[in-house]
Each structure stands twice: as C-alpha cells, then as structure tokens.
Amino acid sequence: MEGLASRVRLNDQEAVAKIIDGEAILINLVSGVYYSMDGTGAVIWSLIQAGEPVERMAASLAASYDVTLEQAAIDIEAVVRELLEQRLVVPDDVPSSFPTAPVAAGNGTKLPYVAPALNAYTDMGDLLALDPPVPGFNDISWEK
C-alpha cells in the first residue's frame, strides 16, 4: 500500500454518503456524480466511517469472507485509491476512538467473496438536467 494514506475519511467538504439497506450511496456534490458500493464495498465503507486503518481492513474482510489476506489487501487498496481519485474521501491520520470488529459471518462459515467495487453513475447530472416532458399538462384535456 505504498503511498496510500493510513486512514481515509469522507471528504465532507465535497461529498455526502450514507449506508442504506446495506449499500453505501455516495454523491460527489461538486461533480454531481453518484456512486454506490454494495456487498464488500459497503463493508469497506463502514470500516472507513469507523476510522479503521486501511491496512487493517484486509484482516476484517478476510476474517469474514472467503478471500485471502493478500487478495483482500489488493482489492481494498484499489477501491480506496479510486475513492481518493473521485475525491469522495481524503487522507485522515487522526486515529479513531471507536474500535472496530470484523464483519460477523454468522456461524463461522465464511461469506462468498466478491471484490469491492465503486459503481459510478456519471450520467446522473445529465439525466437530472433533462427537461421533464410535462410543460402545460394542466392546460390539456387528456381523455382519461
């Protein structure tokens, strides 16, 4: 994880985020791009929110998912770099006061692993800028 910050946190000057039903929804308020991370991605986001050091996230993931520590570290590094590039997080070297625990996997069985991914919706700004096709609807006698 050469060159990567030891911790990252939400870039609250430029972005908002929330975990909704097990999925992280992130919005870059400057670019208007929407993002989502589900599955292991949402787990990583929850670890970021909890102030977990990046280098310890792999252990959390490997403890609960069917993935090696090495692979988890590679995948986490990739997704954290992407979060940094998209300015959704910023480096944060202030230690968290909240200890974190590995993700619970239930009865000891490891969960199937899918690499975390940051899903971007780069067209959201354009889609929302489209004119809704409603002008004048109150003036038209639509037969019902």
User: Which residues in this chain contact another protein in the complex, by CB under 8 A?
Assistant: 16-18, 20-23, 25, 27, 29, 32, 34, 36, 119-124, 126-128, 130-144
Residues 6 or more apart in contact with residue 52 via CB below 8 angstroms = 7, 60, 96, 100
Among residues 64, 24, 45, 41, the alpha carbon closest in space to that of 116 is found at 41
CB of residue 81 to another protein, shortest distance in Å: 16
Between 107 and 138, name the residue whose CB sits nearer to another protein.
138
CB of residue 70 to another protein, shortest distance in Å: 28
Between 37 and 62, name the residue whose CB sits nearer to another protein.
37
Between 2 and 139, name the residue whose CB sits nearer to another protein.
139
Question: Measured between alpha carbons, how far is residue 2 from residues 25, 40, 54, 109, 143 in Å?
Answer: 28, 22, 12, 32, 66
